[in-house]
Amino acid sequence: MKKKKYTFIDLFAGIGGFHTAMHSVGGKCVFASEWDKYARASYEANYVGVEPSLFKKDKNGRYLFFNEDINDIMPSTVPNFDICCGGFPCQPFSTAGLKRGFEDTRGTLFFNIANLVKEKIDAGYPPRVLFLENVRGLKNHDNGKTLQVILATLEELGYRCSYEVLNAKYFGVPQNRERLFIIAWYKKLVDVDFFSFPYGIAENGDTIYNKNDLKKGTVKTKVSDVFEPSSITTLYTISDKMWEGHKARKERNKMNGKGFGYSLFNGESVYTSTISARYWKDGSEILIDQSDKNLNPRTLTPVEAGRLQGYRIIGNGWEYPECENNQNYNESNIEFNIVVSKKEAYRQFGNSVAIPVIKRLAEEIIKQLM
């Protein structure tokens, strides 16, 4: 059966994690915004073949629908859309005269989302659903005031909201990554009282809607699911000097009552810790044990870092060929190509969303709210 097409916009787009997920459920991207020049290069290189109209330019060579600065967006020039996607930065709101609503968001990047939505509502084309992502810390940021203002703003605009913290490790990627998601739907268009969040994927592929059912087991993962062949990965072995430095730093932190230091995993580990944008610096947050080869630990390759977020990257292939056919990397997924330096690739994947989580949420949005 042919999938029904839905239109969406991709704000704070990064390298396109939302785009990949929304495309998989029949979404057509009509507008995207991203300021970082390297992320823009990755985004265009990977999605120009998927959605060529998104990258059209005017006679002066300026993009019509691929915005560079969200502060410069003119809502009237943005095509109408069904779903607004965005992983916006977490910023505090001014507490002076706080009314917990739209006006309190001025001067923040969230305001750009709210203002665009408001303008579309005023023009008679209200977006049906808002699909927003942020760090888990947003829930308690500024003693919870930041989230209160966001929710109050969306409610003021006519949306009913639901939010939840979800962990990527329950969705088939071997990474412990918690993020907060806000789903909001326009009450005049969607007569639904609540949204049922997916908390994970069961071993048989079914969606888990009850948090307590996570105890029954989720789709199996191993860190080796993302491994490139060892002929490649051993080149990422860290030096004796760096390894000694990691161990000394961890010991000092332990003596000072701090929990910071390197984290060591192997192919049989169920998941890693959270990969961040700083991974390129020394890789200490996720090191792969190579003691079976009498080698120091190694960092993830850029390809492995991307696979850890659910990107289908062929790279140099897989250490274990059967992994190429799992739910994240088989041919049903858009292939992603790395077109930037190693440093930028680590930064981009560390900043990205985990695609399998976004994909399962997108499926539920289509099922429950469209």
| Active-site residue set | 90
Q: What angle do CA 324, 326, 330 make, to 5 degrees?
A: 60
Cα–Cα distance for residue pair 41/39, rounded to 1 Å: 5
Closest C-alpha among 153, 145, 150 to residue 102: 153
Question: What is the four-CA torsion angle of 251, 253, 258, 263, rounded to 10 degrees?
Answer: -60
Q: What is the DSSP string of 271-340?
A: -B----TTHHHH-TTSEE--GGGT---EEPPHHHHHHTTT-B--TT--SSGGGGGSTTTSTTSPB----S
What amino acid is encoded at 336 in this protein?
F
Residues β-bridged to residue 179? 135, 166
Cα–Cα distance for residue pair 309/312, rounded to 1 Å: 9
Cα–Cα distance for residue pair 137/95, rounded to 1 Å: 19
Side by side, the strands of the sheet bearing 66-67 are: 66-67, 27-33, 6-11, 83-86, 129-135, 178-186, 159-167
Quote the radius of gyration of the chain (alpha carbons, Å). 21
According to DSSP, the β-strands at 264-265 and 178-186 are: unpaired
Closest C-alpha among 20, 60, 55, 62 to residue 41: 55
What amino acid is encoded at 99 in this protein?
K
For the record, the structure tokens of 263 come out as 């984290």
Please state the φ and ψ torsions of residue 153, each to the nearest 5 degrees. Answer: -65, -45
